[in-house]
Amino acid sequence: MNIILLGPPGAGKGTQAARLEAQRGMVQLSTGDMLRQALAQGTPVGIQAKAVMDAGALVSDAIVSALVGERLDGLEERGSIFDGYPRTRAQAEALDQLLSDRGRALDFVIELEVDEDALVERITGRFSCAVCNAPYHDIYKLPKVEETCDKCGSREFKRRPDDNEATVRTRLGEYRAKTAPILPYYEQRGLVHRVDGMASVEEVSAQVDAILDSSISD
């Protein structure tokens, strides 16, 4: 199965993709994570992308589509979750080509519908363990023991440089201008399913699972 999780920054794409990977064995393909990994490794792509990401703008279509293409081979058995990709019409067309070259096709595009004001609070409060990446939030999910990761015991935490209010507002603007307009491209193929992204993580998970399971019962 190949699915796209579509929604503005903070909508919960990464949360759902990581859960689906853990529970269903599918593979999370997050272009944001790929770019951050490229930067951590000091590759030319990562270094070039940094300033664009820090400003909240979109990295070039050619770069992100090439990153996705490099990861796609060998995933046929497990299925793919596209998280944060595609983000433009050119990327949507590139993804179709990448999949058809491998004899594969999209099954679902799941749009997480959210209230933008709530997203700013969600994103600016987010932080994670610097060692194991366990996710936390200043308001909704603090570590059980102060400043100690619940999962691995580390006392080191990190925040993304693009998770400040000004950059989040730019990222939301980019989503409205360039990403939301690709929905009709998928709607006309009957692929789009909508989920209430303002519900609890458990409720969103149940809605996503119901969509994926609908293909099994078809």
Interaction site with ligand AP5 (CB under 6 A) = 7, 9-15, 30-32, 35, 52-53, 56-59, 64, 84-85, 87, 91, 122-123, 126, 135, 137, 140, 162, 171, 199-201, 204
Q: Which two tokens stand for residue 120?
A: 């700013």
Given the complex with ligand AP5, which of 24 and 218 has the nearer CB atom?
Answer: 24
Asked if the bond preceding 135 is cis, omega within 30° of 0, the reply is no
Nearer to ligand AP5 (CB atom), residue 35 or residue 218: 35
In the chain, at which residue ranges do the beta strands (DSSP E only) sit?
A: 2-6, 27-30, 80-83, 108-113, 126-129, 135-137, 157-158, 192-196
Has 87 been annotated as catalytic?
yes
Helices (H), 87-182: 89-101, 116-124, 165-174
Segment holding 45, helix H or strand E: helix 44-55
- Give yes or no: 104 in active site: no
Catalytic site residue 151? no
> How far apart are CB 217 and ligand AP5 at their closest, in Å?
25
Tell me how far apart the alpha carbons of residues 216 and 114 are, in angstroms, rounded to a whole number.
Answer: 27
Catalytic residue among 13, 19, 36, 122: 13
Using the minimum distance from each CB to ligand AP5, give the nearer residue, 46 or 131: 46
Least separation, in Å, of the C-beta of 128 and ligand AP5? 9
- Shortest Å distance, C-beta 43 to ligand AP5: 15
Per annotation, catalytic residue among 141, 160, 169, 194: 160
Q: Which of 19, 36, 122, 126 is catalytic?
A: 126
Q: How far is CA 9 from CA 28, 65, 70, in A?
A: 16, 19, 24
Closest residue to ligand AP5 using C-beta atoms: 32
Query: What's 103's DSSP letter?
Result: T
Name the minimum Å distance from CB 62 to ligand AP5. 10
What's the rounded Cα separation, in Å, for the pair 132 and 42? 20
| Residue (56 or 143) nearer to ligand AP5, CB | 56
CB of 146 to ligand AP5, least distance (A): 18
Apex CA 42: angle with CA 37 and CA 45, to 5°? 75
Active site residues: 13, 87, 126, 160, 171
